[in-house]
Amino acid sequence: MNIGAVAQASSVSAKMIRHYESIGLIRASSRTLAGYRQYHERDVHLLRFIRRARDLGFSLDQIRQLLSLWDDPERASADVKRLAELHIADLDARIAALTEMRTTLVTLANACHGDHRPDCPILQDLAAPRS
Amino acid sequence: MNIGAVAQASSVSAKMIRHYESIGLIRASSRTLAGYRQYHERDVHLLRFIRRARDLGFSLDQIRQLLSLWDDPERASADVKRLAELHIADLDARIAALTEMRTTLVTLANACHGDHRPDCPILQDLAAPRS
DNA sequence: CTTGACCTTCCCATCATGGAAAGGTTTATG
DNA sequence: CATAAACCTTTCCATGATGGGAAGGTCAAG
């Protein structure tokens, strides 16, 4: 399989496959005489794993750890769970930060009459000195 | 005031003040003979405005628009409100995406016994082909 | 044999921020 | 006055994950 075929099969762009190779997240594939990368079915599995982990918000560094656990038949599920829980805590923090922004903004937007008048609590809040 | 003093007073780093100047978000300040940037109290207000908007998650591009509305005594509050509501929608989308990741991960983590055994639903899910 | 669809590498851009280097200025202190 | 500390200046580089595009080589079908 050429890179385009694996890309399509794994939903990871060719661009990203090359990038993952360059940063050592995946091993360099073999090449044809012309220098084309050659892939196999197991590479599709690997890339799908990566893609799925990305979709769950894991960073490439975390994925690196997940992959090494995936590869290790001796792994303890506790190690995987710990990684997942760290990531959940991270998601929680981000969600909380965004939610706080949202709450403040909604309050401000509700206070803004939103008509032709220049008077606006949103701008007033932005301009107010914080204590 | 030198840049360090404004930075402290506005909670915007000197680095960022120079950057905002370079991208035209704020106007270039006057300089001393030695080339030091000179700022005044109103610059502190401006930078605090920017900082506050950043804290609320507005992008620099959105802040550019907010600033031009702030500067415009003829603005309609509706214009500000519209910007805020667009941003709220954006926050909602991001919160929803993160929450979905979180939900999935929590389910997986709960299913993982998290002990010494290698057996792990989290890795199984990551490795499973998506339909 | 040409055309189009692949592939290659390399460079650049995003977004907001920070680090560090190499050098000039100002201020306080011995 | 000399020197050191604490400023300031510009310029280059890095982050994280991704994409765009250029310039050029390869392969398969018409």
Least confident of A36-40, A118-122, B75-79, B125-129: B125-129
Phi and psi at B30, nearest 5°, equal -75, 170
Torsion angle in degrees (nearest 10) through CA of A97, A101, A107, A109: -160
Confidence of residue A130 (pLDDT cuts 50, 70, 90): confident
Which of A56, A72, A131 to probe by mutation at the B interface, max B CB count within 10 Å? A56
Q: Is the pLDDT of residue A55 over 80?
A: yes
A11, A54 in Cβ contact below 8 A?
A: no
Residue B37, helix vs strand vs coil: strand
State the pLDDT at residue B129.
79
- Kindly tell me the sign of the dihedral angle through the C-alpha atoms of B47, B50, B55, B61: negative
> Model confidence over A7-20: pLDDT tens digits?
999 999 999 999 99
State whether B48 and A84 contact (CB < 8 Å). Answer: no
Please state, rounded to an integer, the average pLDDT across all residues of chain B: 95
> Model confidence over B112-125: pLDDT tens digits?
999 999 999 999 99
pLDDT mean over B92-109 = 96
Confidence of residue A131 (pLDDT cuts 50, 70, 90): low
A6, A39 in Cβ contact below 8 A?
A: yes
Q: B11: exposed, middle or buried (C-beta count within 10 Å: 0-12, 13-18, 19+)?
A: middle
- β-pair partners for A38: A30
- Beta carbons within 10 angstroms of residue B102's beta carbon: 20
Distance between A33 CA and the closest CA of chain B, angstroms = 31
How distant is C1' of D3 from CA of B15, in Å?
A: 29
pLDDT mean over B38-61 = 96
State whether A91 and B98 contact (CB < 8 Å). Answer: yes
Minimum CA–C1' distance nucleotide for A33: D26
State the pLDDT at residue B44.
97
Q: What is the DSSP letter of A34?
A: T
> Model confidence over A57-99: pLDDT tens digits?
999 999 999 999 999 999 999 999 999 999 999 999 999 999 9
Confidence of residue B131 (pLDDT cuts 50, 70, 90): low
Token pair of B3 as six digits: 């840049």
- The CA distances from residue B27 to A41, B37, B95, in Å, are 56, 11, 34
Q: Is B108 on the interface with A (CB under 8 A)?
A: yes
pTM, 2 dp? 0.92
